[in-house]
Amino acid sequence: MPERQYPQVFCSFDGKIEINGKYRKYWIQDATEDMFSEIMENLTERFIGDEPTTKYLKCKDDPTSMKEFQQFWIKMLHEKYSIACMTKDDQNNVKLAGFNVLTESKDGEKNDYNITGVSISRLFKVLDYVEQQRDFHKEFHLPTCMKAMGLYVLPDYRGDGLGEKLLHARELLCRAVGITGTITAFSSIISQKCAAKAGFKDFVVESYERLGEIDPDMKIYDIEKHSKYIKLMYKLYN
What proportion of the chain, given as a percentage, has pLDDT over 90? 93
Q: Reply yes or no on whether the pLDDT at 196 is more than 60.
A: yes
Give pTM, 2 decimals.
0.95
CA 233/CA 80 separation, integer angstroms = 23
The pLDDT tens digits of the residues spanning 91-115 come to 999 999 999 999 999 998 877 778 9
End-to-end CA distance of the chain: 16
What pLDDT does residue 109 have? 84
Question: Measured over all CA atoms, what is the biggest interatomic distance in the chain, rounded to whole angstroms?
Answer: 54
The whole-chain average pLDDT of the chain stands at: 96
pLDDT at residue 1 in the model? 57
Which of these, 78, 68, 63, 206, lies nearest to 134 by C-alpha position?
Answer: 206
Please write the tens of the pLDDT for every residue from 63-82: 999 999 999 999 999 999 99
- What's the pLDDT score for residue 236? 98
Q: Where are the domains of the chain?
A: 9-236
- At 109-149, the pLDDT tens digits run 877 778 999 999 999 999 999 999 999 999 999 999 999 99
Quote the pLDDT of residue 4: 86
Asked if the model's pLDDT at residue 2 lies above 90, the reply is no
- CATH code of 9-236, in short, is 3.40.630.30
- The DSSP annotation for 128-187 comes to HHHHHTS-HHHHTT-SEEEEEEEEEE-GGGTTS-HHHHHHHHHHHHHHHHT--EEEEEE-
Neighbours of 91 (CB within 10 A): 5
What pLDDT is stored for residue 172 in this prediction?
A: 97
Q: Using an 8 Å Cβ cutoff, are 91 and 145 in contact? A: no
Q: Shortest CA distance to 70 belongs to which of 45, 35, 53? A: 45
153-177 per-position pLDDT tens digit = 999 999 999 999 999 999 999 999 9
Query: Is pLDDT above 90 for 226?
Result: yes
